[in-house]
A and B are shown apart, each in its own frame.
Chain A
């Protein structure tokens, strides 16, 4: 158990509304990630963070923003949700140092109607 929680676990929202997903970790790991999972695509990186207020884009960052004001929390915001953003969103952490693997949270299922 990597001590990662995601909230909410399920959300249904309407097109055009803003949505914020939260990832919380309990072990003060430096690196945090947001992925989306879609059938036939595996997981694709949206954004990641390598420290408080330090973030970078992944391969599918358009329409998403992130913030990390505390080590333990990494927020993903859909500025104006679209149906193409219906997906399962996973948060992950990487302890850093000589540890290169990532550990994943339980996921958030988001439906945009």
Chain B
């Protein structure tokens, strides 16, 4: 069965430090991959997406992610975290030509000053 694993439930980083959130997926075909962010009490906002082509994709708010087929991973990175980045982050895999998304359980990011 298709699945998405986000190994870290919580991560705490200092403001200005770099960030990497991990995502591993299990899916037989070429996946469509997404990262979403959710602030408390809000809906989900799309950060970035990968369908094909360059395996390093840029998103909004200074985030980037790299698709590594050999590792079945799509890790999210940011070189310098801001306090406003504190939120919950979800990795998702699109199946059936994107008709369905399977989400990871999420990673809660805390930023300390």
A residues at B contact (CB < 8 Å): 31, 33, 40-45, 48, 50, 58, 90, 94, 99-107
Contacts and interface: CB of A to CB of B under 8 A. Distances in A.
B43 interface: yes
Contacts of B46: 101-103
A105 B43 CA distance: 6
B49 to A, nearest CB: 5
Contact of B94 (A44, A50, A100, A104): A100
B63 interface: no
Interface string B78-98: 000000000000101010011
B98 A100 contact: yes
A103 B34 CA distance: 12
Interface residues of B, number: 25
Given A31-B99, A48-B99, A102-B101, A42 B43 contact: no
Given A40-B105, A42-B90, A43-B90, A101 B34 contact: yes
Interface of B: 4, 9, 32, 34, 36, 42-46, 49, 51, 90, 92, 94, 97-106
Contacts of B4: 42
B106 A42 contact: yes
Contacts of A58: 100
Given A48-B100, A104-B45, 6 more contacts: A42-B105, A90-B44, A100-B97, A101-B34, A104-B36, A105-B43
A104 B43 contact: yes
A54 B85 CA distance: 38
